[in-house]
Each structure stands twice: as structure tokens, then as C-alpha cells.
Structure 1
Amino acid sequence: MEQQDEPVISTDEMLSYLSLDNTPENNEVLGGLVEDATAYINATFNSKNLSASELSKDKVYTSAVKALTGFMFYDRTLSQGIPLGIQQRITQLKGRYDQWQPDNHNGK
């Protein structure tokens, strides 16, 4: 999977989304959590051929990253696992972006 140059969700967006103060500490923590959430979600479907600008246009993708980042902000150990709502978004992304492997048996 290729590393994306710029995050799909900015730290400022997450500060607003979570109604947090713009402090150096919050910026640092959220920046890392956005990276972690993005990496986790990207690993669940075939994202290697998609650019950050393409993914940023996908509302399901951006909402999944925001939701997972927010969840990880309040539960950094993921002690409750990944919430069902986020799992549902990931399932939608898999359906949207994963491709079936070509049939190498030529119909046999």
C-alpha cells in the first residue's frame, strides 16, 4: 500500500468534529490517530490504486476515518473493538473498491 502524502482528514476537521480546543497536544494526538485510522481502514480494502484526493471525495470513506479517529481518541486501546457502525462503513468500502480476482480457470 502506498503512503499518502497528505491526510484525507485534516487535524482541524477532527478538532471541529470532536469539538476540541486547538492545542498542540490535541493536534499531535489527532494527527497520529488520523494516520492510524486511515492505515487501518486502507488495509481492509484494495486502496493501493486510490489517491488521497479520490478517497477524500468518498463520503463513506471520510466518515469512516472520522468515526474511527474519534473512537480511538476516547478509547485508545480499542478495548471495545471496532464499533459496528464503522465496520458497516468498511464493508461498504470493500464492496466499492475491492475487485474480484480474475478467474484463471477459463470457466473450467
Structure 2
Amino acid sequence: MDSFAFIIHAMDVADIKSHIFPLRPFPSSWAEYLASRIPPFILSHVRGVRSAYSGKEIEGWFIGLPMTPRALLEYPFPFVADRIRRCGLLAEKKGAKIIGLGAFTSVAGDGGITVK
């Protein structure tokens, strides 16, 4: 079966705290820093989607990168590229044949050039 993965990230620290419960008591700056050290994870497994291109049934995964746009743009590029690369490795492990970079992951990850 054809498959895909799409990498998404938190929109802000409140988004991180709403999904990663142990970080709720921490000040926002700490939560943002600590979240950026958490490995990527599967947010959702999607089945029963039909490709508009091939007509085949496909499946996919939404992969969560617990980093904010600010962190993606301001943290050192090698660190950010490594985090995005780890998302790609998780997608590959799940069997994804194509990976989409959502929102700031495409900007911070230079459109996937470095992490391909």
C-alpha cells in the first residue's frame, strides 16, 4: 500500500502544554526548551484515504515535532535539522514513501534540502 507522512509542529507553548501534560507546571520558556528535546512521535495514523492521483487506497501518519515556530527559526540550524531528520526516520520506519513538511518545518528545514 502506498503511504505518506506529514510532519507538524506546535503553534505555541500553550499548544505544547495542552498535549504534553508533564510540561504544564513549567514556565513557558522551560516548557518550550524541554519540549524541543522530546523525540518526534506519531500523532495520528490515517487509513482509508484514496489518492486523487492513482485512485489507490493509501495510509499515512501525522508526526509531531514538539517545537514552536520560534524554536524552529531561532535554535541553531544543525539542531533543528536533526530534529526534522528524526521525524523523517520515524516516517521511514512506519513505511512512508513520501514526507510532507508542514508549516515552519519547511522554512526552518530549508525546504527539505539538507534533511533529505
Larger radius of gyration: 1
TM-score (structure 1 length as normaliser): 0.28
Q: Looking at both structures, which has the greater relative contact order when contacts are Cα pairs under 8 Å and sequence separation is at least 6?
A: 2
